[in-house]
Amino acid sequence: MRTSSSPSRLLSGCRRTLSSSSRGRFSVKIRAETTSSESATTSSSQEDGSAVVSKNLEVMRKFSEQYAKRSGTYFCMDKSVTAVVIQGLAEHKDELGAPLCPCRHYDDKALEAEQGFWNCPCVPMRERKECHCMLFLTEDNDFAGDEQTITTEELDEFTEGMK
């Protein structure tokens, strides 16, 4: 499936969607395997919850890398697209308890997260390898890069102004 929109156009749509959020809590769909050093870092978290967000960012980074490898897909050649989508998934995981797709508009995010259809990986991705966010791209996609990894430093670099 060829993509006709540019990565930057889709990225701006993601950023618009990420700026509006609703609050709610549901059970976590993706669990992190934590080491004792990660637990120590989390237990010394700041009052403002930034440690939770950064922990969720790392959880979603690891998940994205593992899923790309497992599904045979690749990240976008423009790593800022990958970084913004992972940041949005981490924010939704923090707010909603589930990694709801950050590139769609929802009338009720909490309800959508509970129903699970758009939780990453969404049903279209699992069934047909169609990722609206351009996070997981098949080799034949014009915007597919050749990497299945993204570093913490790259995430920080591309999402600096969003935090």
Active site residues: 103
For the beta carbon of residue 50, count every other beta carbon within 10 angstroms: 11
**Per-position b or e across 91-101, b if 16+ CB within 10 A of its CB:** bbbbbbbbbbb
Structure tokens given for 2: 């060829």
**40, 28, 148, 141: which is closest to 92 by C-alpha?**
28
Structure tokens given for 59: 């959880």
